[in-house]
Chains A and B, each alone.
Chain A
Amino acid sequence: MADPGRAAAADLSAGGAAAVKFVRHLGAVTLVVAVVVVIGLAWNHFEPGTLVGGVQASFDKQASASGRAPGVAVLRPGAKTGGPHGPHGRVVIVRNGPMNLGLGSMFDPVNLAVLRHTVVIEAVVIAIVVMIDVSRRLWRQERRRARQLAPYRSDDEPDQ
């Protein structure tokens, strides 16, 4: 007879093992992703010119010690911008009221063209890959069939 207590314990240990496996895999994935990010940071540090030319070099020299981009001014709610003594360059506004998600633009028919463009590109690429895959499989089947038929032909032929 099956022991219900033992079965429950086995279920529990299987669940625990799955959780440990998941955490282990998540750790490995995080490590791989971190390596890719470090490669990106190294690229920015050593060879930024390969992507943006000489602009990055001057940007790096100007980078401030506060960790904020050069020319960026942070404004608190209610602060005034512009004017002869106001901040110049890029302006970052901090927590100025509730965040605007810009949901209005999603329902604007004009902007639907952007989404349609993305979907069309994806659909075209999918169609091309599927067609290549189907033709490759058909070609393989044909070749296999030809290979299966070949020995019969050679056996049927009388020896000269």
Chain B
Amino acid sequence: MNGPPVTSAAEPLPALDRRRRIAARTRLDFWFDLVLLIGYTLAYSYGFTGIAIHEWLGIGLGLALLLHLTLHWDWVIRTTRRVLDPRGHDKVIWLVNLALLFGMTLCVASGILISRVALPYLGIYPLAGPFWERLHVVTAEVTLGLVPVHLALRWRWLIRVGRRLLTFRPAGRQR
């Protein structure tokens, strides 16, 4: 990714080309993670969005999380193998991600089971109950603590990629 410029030194590298050099997968990860964070923040702020948006956003987040996990499944397998090694790295990240997987899955599942607008609108009447309502609240609070930790543990990557993707340098100015 940090290879030499393909153009000659006399010809300045436009900002667009600089951005193109970032791998498509890295760009997808960055923007998708950002969308997930914004979606989660909005979905958690129930009093701000109202119940209908909260429920539809929650269902959408559930599907997006499936995709997020699928895109990073290689990492999951690789790190799970390494966790068993006493000298292995990423143990903290692995544990946080495991807790987040449980928290988020149970939060979305319990949210679906206590749905009052989205599922009844589709003609589905889930069996609600105090257990699921309590579980939804507890897991939502747990995930509010874990999502920022999950993000912050990769802050160097986020800063590095974010700086390259979001910095606009006019053509003709090079570092």
Q: Do A and B bind each other?
A: yes
- Which B132-164 residues have C-beta < 8 A from chain A? 132, 134-135, 138, 144-145, 147-149, 151-153, 155
Per-residue interface assignment for chain B, residues 18 to 55, with 1 indicating a CB less than 8 Å from any chain A CB and 0 otherwise: 00000000000000000000000110111111111100
Tell yes or no: B84 within 8 A of A by CB.
Answer: no
- Chain B residue at smallest Cβ distance from A60: B129
- Given the interface contacts A36-B102, A37-B109, A52-B131, does A105 sit within 8 Å of B50 by beta carbon? yes
- Which A89-135 residues have C-beta < 8 A from chain B? 92-95, 99-106, 111-112, 114-115, 117-119, 121-123, 125-126, 128-130, 133
- Given the interface contacts A52-B134, A94-B120, A122-B41, does A25 sit within 8 Å of B70 by beta carbon? yes
Per-residue interface assignment for chain B, residues 71 to 82, with 1 indicating a CB less than 8 Å from any chain A CB and 0 otherwise: 001100000000
Contact status B148-A115, CB under 8 Å: no
Number of A-B contacts (CB under 8 A): 137
Taking Cβ atoms with an 8 Å cutoff, the residues of A that contact B are 22, 25-26, 28-30, 32-33, 36-37, 39-40, 44, 48, 51-52, 55-56, 59-60, 63, 67-69, 72, 74, 92-95, 99-106, 111-112, 114-115, 117-119, 121-123, 125-126, 128-130, 133
